[in-house]
Amino acid sequence: MSSGILNLRYDIGGDLSKFTKSVEKAEELVKEVDEIFVENGAPKEVYGLDTAGIDELARKAAAAGIRFIPIPQRHIGSEYLPDVISSIRQKLEKRGVKILLNTKVESIGQGKVIINGSVVKTDYILAAPGRVGADWFAAQARALGVKLTHLPVDIGVRVEVPAVVYEPVVRVNRDPKFHIQTKTFDDFVRTFCTNAEGWVMEERYDDHVGVNGQSLRNKKSKNTNFAFLVHVGLTQPVTDTNAYGRSIAYLATTIGGGRPLIQRMGDLRAGRRSTWERIDRGHVTPTLRSVTPGDISMALPGRIVTDIIEGLERLDKVVPGVASDSTLLYAPEVKLYAMQINVDQNMETSVPNLFVAGDGAGLSRGIVTAAATGLLAARGIIKKSGSEKSPRLS
């Protein structure tokens, strides 16, 4: 379940100014998205406004050769996010929007979609399939002749530490973003999706497993977890980063016997697999137990393992204790980003009247940016229809 972290910056989770052609307009778009969430139940509290704390954290990070990205953030919480979604849905339905749940869109054509074997004709199509539908939509786009671009993939682990270790950081920024260049390979590594006093969660797909995290507003664990990801781009002759990321996820799933892998940082450094006995001797009690103690280096490429070790040891200079022997690492955490769909500033593709939005179209990597591209697409449709009245939309 998503923790519902709203990153209130136009250049986090994608750069909205590339579409708006103006930083000022991009910032206005973020503000509008934020207001919609608050109107539908998101809390009014905003994290990341302590300028003195931000300056001190940025100074410590810079001294360690790390870039800290300060971000105003709103935390909805996993248990409240369904209520926010329900509120948005009810408002849409009151305005005449018909929502079909558990309904399969089989294919998209020019001016039509196939739903459960039936053809639905339409003036405009807005495709926002989300990450789970990214591969399906890429296939639809290829069939329609829409231009696609491969994006880099993020591969790494989910790190779990005692909450007290990360508390000085999350007090300043709820979901702190640290950007690191590693020593050996000069690769880009970053922290992502911090769940303060949260839980590590299993992600189960059709043919592999992965890990993620969640945090609640009213219930707390004794640990904090975050993703630690290596940015991987591929060049000719191989460019399919998603296939590369999946192959690693498959291997990790095989080694874990169908479950995610867990390993202590100290065991990874020493080149040995973890056991439950070694894990239980440490001072971090895992919040996810349906895992297999093992050796992450048997699943992740050596270069990525080196990046993770070097990156965490550098981060330890800013957050002491984050690279201790007892720190827990879960694998795989693989962010399979969608093929990026080429669009104009109205989110219209090269196929007339086919608009796209969100993560599944490769246009965003987060809630706020995805929502903003949805607003841009809707306005693009209204503009093209030549009317402020809602056009026929699928």
Can you tell me the distance from the alpha carbon of 358 to that of 340, in angstroms, rounded to the nearest whole number? Answer: 10
Helix (H) or strand (E) holding 303: helix 302-315
Residue 392: pLDDT band (50, 70, 90) is very low
Residue 387: pLDDT band (50, 70, 90) is low
**CA nearest to 286, candidates 228, 211, 230:** 211
Helix (H) or strand (E) holding 68: strand 66-69
Helix (H) or strand (E) holding 61: helix 51-63
Residue 206: pLDDT band (50, 70, 90) is confident
pLDDT average, residue stretch 153-165:
96
DSSP state string for 214-266 = E--SS---SEEEEEEEEEE---TT---HHHHHHHHHHHHHHHTTTS-EEEEHH
Residue 391: pLDDT band (50, 70, 90) is very low
Segment 84-136, tens digit of pLDDT? 999 999 999 999 999 999 898 999 999 999 998 999 999 999 999 988 788 88
pLDDT at residue 307 above 80?
yes
Query: 3-class DSSP state for residue 295?
Result: coil
Task: Characterise 319 by phi-psi region: left (phi > 0), alpha (psi -120 to 50), beta (else).
Answer: beta
Domain boundary assignment for the chain: 5-41+77-149+340-385, 51-71+152-335
**CA nearest to 392, candidates 383, 381, 376, 377:** 381
pLDDT average, residue stretch 71-75:
94
Residue 389: pLDDT band (50, 70, 90) is low
pLDDT number for residue 393: 43
pLDDT at residue 338 above 70?
no
Contacts of 368 (CB under 8 A, 6+ apart): 6, 7, 8, 12, 13, 30, 33, 34
Can you tell me the distance from the alpha carbon of 41 to that of 278, in angstroms, rounded to the nearest whole number? Answer: 44
Can you tell me the distance from the alpha carbon of 367 to that of 2, in angstroms, rounded to the nearest whole number? Answer: 10
pLDDT number for residue 241: 82
The tokens describing 330, both together, are: 């879960």
Can you tell me the distance from the alpha carbon of 360 to that of 91, in angstroms, rounded to the nearest whole number? Answer: 24
Segment 254-304, tens digit of pLDDT? 999 999 999 999 999 999 999 999 999 999 999 999 999 999 999 999 999
pLDDT number for residue 238: 67
Which of 113-122, 179-188, 203-212, 380-389 is the least confident region? 380-389
pLDDT number for residue 132: 79
What is the CATH number that goes with domain 5-41+77-149+340-385? 3.50.50.60
User: Do 225 and 199 contact (CB within 8 A), yes or no?
Assistant: yes
